[in-house]
Amino acid sequence: MTRILRLLFFVLLFCWKSLSAQAQQVQIQGWVMNAYDSLPIEAAHVFIGEGSEGTFSDVMGYFSLPVRQSDTLYVSALGFGKQKLLVTLLAQEGALQTIVWLVPSPKWLQGVTVTPFAPVEKTYRSQLIDTDSSYKPPLISPEDAYATGAITRLANNFNSEYQQLKTLKAIREEQYAAWHVKQVLKNRLSVSFVTRHTILRAEEVADFIAYWNPNPIWLERASAYELMLKLKQMEADYIQSLRLSSPKNDMARTHSMELRQLIGE
Confidence of residue 113 (pLDDT cuts 50, 70, 90): confident
- 225-244 average pLDDT score: 85
Mean per-residue pLDDT for 39-49? 90
The per-residue pLDDT for 11 is 56
Q: What does the pLDDT average to over 150-156? A: 75
Quick one: the chain helix, strand, coil %, rounded to 5? 50, 15, 30
- Among 1-5, 43-47, 123-127, the range scoring the smallest mean pLDDT is 123-127
Ranking 22-31, 138-147, 211-220, 238-247 by mean pLDDT, the lowest is 138-147
Comparison of pLDDT for 124 and 177, the residue scoring more: 177
Residue 125: the pLDDT is 47
User: Does position 41 have pLDDT exceeding 90, yes or no?
Assistant: yes
Domain 24-102 CATH assignment equals 3.40.50.300:
no
pLDDT of residue 265: 45
The residue extents of the domains of the chain are 24-102, 191-264
Q: What is the pLDDT of residue 159?
A: 79
Distance CA 233, CA 261 (A): 13
Mean pLDDT, rounded, of the chain: 75
Going by pLDDT thresholds of 50, 70 and 90, the confidence category of residue 7 is low
Answer yes or no: are the C-beta atoms of 100 and 74 closer than 8 Å: no
Residue with the larger pLDDT of the pair 101 and 178 = 101
